[in-house]
Amino acid sequence: MNRVIKNGLRAGILIAACFAMAVPTLAWDKGNLADYHQRRERIVHSTGDGVVVLFGFSEDEIAVSTVEFRQNEMFYYLTGWNQPDAILLLVPKPPHANGQPSEFDKEILFIPPHDYRAEKWRGPKLGPDDPEAKSQTGFPTVLNKALFPSVFHEALKSFPVVYTELTPQPESGEDHFIETSVAQLKTLAPMASFRDIRAQLTRMRAVKSPGEIALMRKAVDASVEGHLAAMKTLKPGMMEYEVAARMEYEYRRRGCEWPSYPPIVGSGFYSTVLHYDEDSRPIQDGDVVVMDVAGSYSGYASDITRTLPANGHFTERQREIYTLVYGAQEAALGAAKPGVTVGELNKIARDYINSHGKDQHGQTLGQYFIHGLSHSVGLNVHDPMEYSQPVEPGMVITLEPGIYIPEEKLGVRIEDMILITPEGAELLSKRLPRQADDVERAMASR
Ligand code: GLY
Ligand code: MN
Ligand code: MN
């Protein structure tokens, strides 16, 4: 049903039901709302000379009948609020003469008032005047969004500086959103100076809190079940999309709300295509199948890849390449600890690949490792991180070496997520078979 027809039906058929109703608890696990408050505190401590404004995403620009709403990640990180059309405003107290960190003067979440007709279609929402507004959001002040311009103006009298998102996150497609948000603020505050808050938030997001790690473990555990199910069911003749569907079924039934990225199930030649997400080929005897498939739990992504022999047994050459990729991952895993950089880990894996094995022309294999080894994972599968900085305890990154030789229709990627710990690193998906023998053993139980 398209939006115009739907709006017509809304107007023509529905009678507004304007009675108060308790808002059901939202399905996502937000953990402790005090954690989000502490993040806002940290931001105000580091930006004490200006107000902070972040916009949540709006529903206006998406086809609500076909696409699920997803919140602006930076906004969600500071608010835990995943309903559309909200605004965050943080106002510090005037700076202390003794150089103490700034405290809040105002900590406000602006949300739209009830639209009872829309709620008939999309379910009950929280309104700013509902008695549970504070307890459900964890904000001391929740106001009608219509009040934002006047409250913002008032705040600017003490602080003519505005911290907001000025640059889109790479790969995010947020360019238009950022452009219109900044234009809106500049119209409201033509005399203010604007500073980008992205670097501070990127630093904060890179180190996960215990609550975030708990959610990521759930995403990983559910996705591991998807991979185990694939190991038990894969056989020649299946369509790639059948494998993807089976895996998705397993992680979704364990509470994941959506795939962290479009599932990649690539067999034969398509095992060498990095982000092949058509998943439309029949899997053949003798193929390897790269399965880069994982789900998100309460907003937190996971990212796991296994490469399986379609018939349950690697050929000699497949096993050779697989074992090499495994060796590269092990080498990087052994070196992962606080203080190392992602670039150094990448080099360790690349050197390993280059010093083991050859292609059909006697050349070294590093040329077939055509992507980076690691990226941060969090609210986004490619979470923001300052990659030149050494890793720290609490960071979650992938280790995903791969060798892709189109000429041999042979691609192998092994991808796991690690949590950097004070001593080294924890492999979050350790119960999922990784070595060639263990993979074959898991498949033998089909
Ligand atoms: N699944 C996307 C990636 O591995 O980065
Ligand atoms: Mn990845
Ligand atoms: Mn992946």
Give CA separation, 67 vs 62, 173, 264, in Å: 7, 16, 20
Residue 253: count of CB within 10 angstroms of its CB: 11
Nearest ligand to the CA atom of 397: 2
pLDDT at 13: 33
In this predicted model, what pLDDT tens digit does every residue of 69-101 receive, in sequence order?
Answer: 999 999 999 999 999 999 999 999 876 555 565
Q: Which residues surround ligand 2, an ion (CB under 5 A)?
A: 303, 398, 400
The mean predicted confidence, pLDDT, of the chain is: 92
Chain segment 23-50, per-residue pLDDT in tens: 554 579 999 999 999 999 999 988 888 9
Q: What is the pLDDT of residue 16?
A: 38
Residue 94: what pLDDT? 74
The pLDDT value given to residue 390: 98
Q: What is the pLDDT of residue 286?
A: 98
pLDDT tens-digit series, residues 235-258: 999 999 999 999 999 999 999 999
Report the pLDDT value the prediction gives residue 98, as an integer from 0 to 100.
58
For the 21-206 domain, the top CATH level (class) is: alpha beta
Q: What is the pLDDT of residue 166?
A: 95
At 156-205, the pLDDT tens digits run 988 889 999 999 888 888 899 999 999 999 999 999 999 999 999 999 99
The CA 400 to ligand 2 mean position distance, Å, reads: 6
- Of residues 106 and 338, the one with the higher pLDDT is 338
Q: Which ligand has the shortest distance to the CA of 399? A: 2
pLDDT of residue 158: 84
Interval 5-22 mean pLDDT: 38
Give residue limits of the domains in the chain. 21-206, 210-444
Name the band, by pLDDT with cuts 50, 70 and 90, for residue 396: very high
Q: In 3D, which of 221, 286, 231, 279 has the Cα closest to residue 254?
A: 221
Rounded Cα–Cα distance for residues 294 and 303 (Å)? 5
Give me the pLDDT at residue 378, please. Answer: 98
Name all residues whose Cβ lies below 6 A of ligand 1: 261, 292, 303, 375, 381, 400, 415
| Ligand 1: residue whose CA is nearest its atom 4 | 303
Residue 439 reports pLDDT greater than 50:
yes
Amino acid at 251: Y
**Pairing, β 161-164 against β 193-196:** parallel
pLDDT tens per residue across span 245-294: 999 999 999 999 999 999 999 999 999 999 999 999 999 999 999 999 99
Region 210-444: CATH code:
3.90.230.10
